[in-house]
Structure 1
Amino acid sequence: MTLVRVIARPLTASSFAFSGVDRLRSAGKSAEQLQPVLTRLGKAVPSLAPVTADAKRVAQVLGGVQLGAGILLGLGRFSRVAGTLLAVSAAANTLVDFKSADSSTPAARKERRGQLLRNLSLVGAALLASVDTNGRPGLAWRAEHFASGAKKNAVGISKDARKQLKKADLAVRRTAADVVGS
């Protein structure tokens, strides 16, 4: 692991972990802030109504996710999964914080905008962590190079087998693209 990763991951993770602890400690206050967003979400997607009905539980889950994923990211374990979870939870927190912030005075609007930009920068950091392969090739790269290596080794195979190999190559590429999302 490079020195930048050794320093950057715990620094990024610390903000999420402490935010998760705060959400768990003050789940009631977090639930009050979450309630308007959850109400709108419950109306927009009726199948989520049972989940959005208990705002305190949602606040506790968000806090737990942030704490757990923050610790994992800080330790460098399952950092891509942790980064993805942190990006999703940070996006939800950003929305809730923006909606519940005071905007009655120009100074309050300026503070609200500053908090929004800080939260968005944390979302960006979590997204970067979610795609960081730590210098190792990702699944898509491995699958593509496995398929091209197999194709090179199959030079002496019959015409029928070559067609099957092309189909397999195409299937591997599609699967890798689906997994990576490109």
Structure 2
Amino acid sequence: MRPVRTAARAMLASFFVLDGVRTLTRPEARVEAARPLTDRVTPMLERTDPRLPTDPLTLVRVKAAADVLAGLALATGRFTRPAATVLAAGLVPHTLADKGDREHLLRNLGLLGGLLLAAADTEGRPGLRYRTSHAVDRSQRSVRRAVRTAKREAKIAAASAAAARRLPG
């Protein structure tokens, strides 16, 4: 499965890397399409931290840079789950902005589905929840074993002390 996962991630990431590079080279083309969304987000950003950029051009550039970096991480197999999560989170507002164009909406929904699969993929290795629960179970078994051993050793020590008291001398 490893070659299939590698190829699938590279194909999925290529869209985001190319689109991000295109947007970084000519961000003005995307500013007008993003303006309705950035106008809604700007007051929230200003309340959160006044130092954050709020102009649409900068926000479009930041999203494009995030798409390129996360796409490269996904394609190279580094931090694949966080990278897929970042790309999916960035795709949601993009999909909402394209809601009038059915073809773009369906394309974005397909990409979002692929990103969700990539974000959930553990490559056959157990996930964090599984590893944590099993580590807890192993720890509890070790503690129970240690308690049984301590009780057994205490009984042996008590029997030895009683036998030693009965010996002459």
Flag whether TM exceeds 0.5 (same fold): yes
Q: Is the 8 A contact 2:37 2:93 kept in 1?
A: no
User: Structure 1 unaligned runs (5+)?
Assistant: 102-111, 159-182
Q: Which residue of 2 aligns with 1:105?
A: none
Q: Secondary structure at the match of 1:133?
A: coil
Task: Note the 1:16-165 alignment, pairs <5 A.
Answer: 16-43=16-43, 47=47, 50=50, 51=52, 53-98=54-99, 112-156=101-145
Greater alpha carbon shift after TM alignment, 80-89 vs 28-37: 28-37
Partner Cα separation in structure 1 for residue 146 and residue 40 of structure 2: 60
Alpha carbons of structure 1 residues 49 and 97: separation in structure 2 relative to 1, 3 Å: farther
Structure ID, larger Rg: 2
The one-letter code matched in structure 1 to 2:58 is: R
Q: What is the TM-score when the length of structure 2 is the normalising length?
A: 0.77
Aligned amino acid, residue 63 of structure 2: L
Distance 1:131 1:114, change over 3 A: same
TM (norm. structure 1) is 0.72
Q: What fraction of aligned residue pairs are identical, expressed as a percent? A: 35
Tell me, in whole angstroms, the C-alpha distance in 1 between the residues paired with 2:28 and 2:63: 13
Inter-partner Cα distance in structure 2 for 1:41 and 1:57: 13
Q: Which residue of 2 aligns with 1:8?
A: 8
* 1:135-177 Cα shifts (integer Å, max 9, x gaps): 211211111001101111222455xxxxxxxxxxxxxxxxxxx
Work out the CA distance in 2 between the residues paired with 1:156 and 1:14: 53
In the alignment of these two chains, the number of paired residues is 147
CA apart distance, 1:53: 2.9
CA displacement 1:24-83 (0-9 Å, x = unmatched)? 122112112111111123356762585473100000011011111111101111101110
SS in structure 2 of the partner of residue 155 of structure 1: helix
Structure 2 unpaired stretches of 5+: 148-169
